[in-house]
Amino acid sequence: MKTNNIKPIFNLDKRIYKDYYTADYFVKTRKIINNEKKDTIFTMQWFQRREGVFFCGSRIVKDLLEKANVKNVLFEYLEEGEIIEPLEPVLRLTGKYEQFCHLEGIIDGILSRATTVANNAYKIAVAANNKVVINMNDRMDFYLNQQIDGYSSYVGGLKNLVTPASFEYLDIDYDLRGTMPHSLIAAFDGNVVDAANAYLKNFPENKLIALVDYNNDVIEDSIKLCNSLGDKLYAVRIDTAQNLIDKSLENLDINEENIKGVNIILVNMLREKLDKNGFKNVKIIVSSGFDENKIKYFEKNNACVDIYGVGEALTKNKITFTGDVVKVNQKEQSKYGRKFVESLRLKSIKY
C-alpha cells in the first residue's frame, strides 16, 4: 500500500525542536561534540529485527527533518509500504551531529509506533480477504496516539476510521457514519428498537448499524430490528463479550468454548435467520477480540461476516527500531555487533 496518492500534513508538536521530548543524555552529548568534535561528520542508521514487516514512518520523519530546518544533512530512506527484513536499514542520516542528535530517540519512537500499527493493519486487511475492516482502536489506547495511528492504519490498508483526529495527518475529506454504543441502548431501558429509532430520528442520513448483543440475544433482537425498521437498517453488529454464550446457543450440544463470545456458529445462525425472514440485504458486522488470527479463522471457515471491527489488535506485537552511529567521517565506526549495511532500496534527499 504505497502512500503516493495522499498528501499528509503532520501537525507535530513544535516542542520537539526545543528538546522537550529529548532524553537529557542526547542534549549533553550534542554539547560535548560541538565543543570537542564540532566538524565531525556522523552517519546514523535505523533498523529493526523482525522478518517480513510492513514498514511505515519515513514520511513523518521527513516532515520532522524539514521542520527542524536541518542543514547539510543527507537523508536516506525507504518508502512506506515496503516489506522489510531483520537488520535492513530503513533510514540513514549523514551530517554534523548537532543537526540531528536530539531527534534520535524521537525517530525511534515514530518508526516503532507507525510500523507497529501499519504492519498489524496490513496483516489484518490481508486476513479479511478485502472485506471492510473498521479501526476501533480509539478506545484502546491513549487519545494523543489517534493521529499517528489513523495515518499508519490507512497506510496499512485499513481506511475506515471513527474519529476526526484519526484523519488529521491524512488531510483528506472524511464522513463519519458509524455504529451506536451500548450506552444508547441503556438509555432506552435495553430496548434496541427504540434506541435504533431514536438514532434514525436524529441522524436520518446515516446508514444505521445497530448493536444486537446488549441483551445477549443476538438473533431475537436482530429480527425485531429488521421487522421494525426494514430497509432503514443497514447492518447489525455483534459485540458479545468473550466469556458469554448468547441465549440462542444455550441449548446446543456443543463444547462451550466453541460458542462463547462472537463465534462462527452464532454468526452463521444469524445469517440464516435473516435470510429466511427476507432480510438478505442486512449486513453482519463482528467485533470484540478480533485480530489477524481470529479473522483468518473466520474466513477459512466461511463465516458469514461482511465487516470486521478491530481495536487493540492494531497496537499489539510491538516492533521496535534502533538508531546507531555506523560511520564517523566516512569511516566505519559503530557499537560492537552493529555495522553499516549497504542498501540499494534507499532513496535520498540532501538538505
Question: If pLDDT is split at 50, 70 and 90, which confidence band does 1 have?
Answer: low
pLDDT at 5: 72
Query: Model confidence over 318-336: pLDDT tens digits?
Result: 999 999 999 999 999 999 9
Helix 104-127 and helix 292-300: axis angle, to 10°?
10
pLDDT at 251: 86
Query: Model confidence over 39-51: pLDDT tens digits?
Result: 999 999 999 999 9
% of the chain at pLDDT higher than 90: 90
Pair 277, 261: CB distance under 8 Å: no
Question: If pLDDT is split at 50, 70 and 90, which confidence band does 63 have?
Answer: very high
C-alpha dist (Å) from residue 71 to 18, 59, 325: 17, 18, 18
Distance of CA 40 to the CA centre of its chain: 39
Pair 46, 89: CB distance under 8 Å: yes
Cα 119 to Cα 53: distance, rounded to the nearest angstrom: 6
**Is 70 exceeded by the pLDDT of residue 79?**
yes
**Is 90 exceeded by the pLDDT of residue 280?**
yes
Pair 258, 242: CB distance under 8 Å: no
Q: Among 248-262, 269-283, 287-301, 319-333, name the one with the lowest average pLDDT.
A: 248-262
Q: Which CATH superfamily is domain 14-117+318-350 in?
A: nicotinate phosphoribosyltransferase (3.20.140.10)
**Is 60 exceeded by the pLDDT of residue 101?**
yes
* Long-range contacts at 323-327 (CB < 8 A, ≥ 24 apart): 323/44, 323/45, 323/46, 323/91, 323/104, 323/107, 323/108, 324/44, 324/45, 325/42, 325/43, 325/44, 326/43, 326/44, 326/45, 327/42, 327/43, 327/94
End-to-end CA distance of the chain: 27
- The dihedrals phi and psi of 102, each to the nearest 5 degrees, come to -70, -10
For the chain, domain boundaries: 14-117+318-350, 127-315
**Is 70 exceeded by the pLDDT of residue 209?**
yes
Q: Cell digits for 9?
A: 500534513
pLDDT at 2: 54
Question: If pLDDT is split at 50, 70 and 90, which confidence band does 254 have?
Answer: confident
**Is 60 exceeded by the pLDDT of residue 73?**
yes
| 127-315: CATH topology | TIM Barrel (3.20.20)
Average per-residue pLDDT in the chain? 94
Q: Among 2-6, 53-57, 103-107, name the one with the lowest average pLDDT.
A: 2-6
Interval 168-176 mean pLDDT: 87
Q: Cell digits for 64?
A: 520532522
pLDDT at 227: 97
% of the chain at pLDDT higher than 70: 98
Interval 88-111 mean pLDDT: 96
**Is 80 exceeded by the pLDDT of residue 297?**
yes
Question: If pLDDT is split at 50, 70 and 90, which confidence band does 3 have?
Answer: low
Distance of CA 92 to the CA centre of its chain: 25
> What is the maximum span of the chain, computed from C-alpha positions, in angstroms?
81
Higher-pLDDT residue of 102 and 179 is 102
Q: Do domains 14-117+318-350 and 127-315 have the same CATH topology?
A: no
Contacts of 297 by beta carbon, 8 Å cutoff, 6+ apart: 264
Cα 31 to Cα 15: distance, rounded to the nearest angstrom: 19
pLDDT at 110: 98
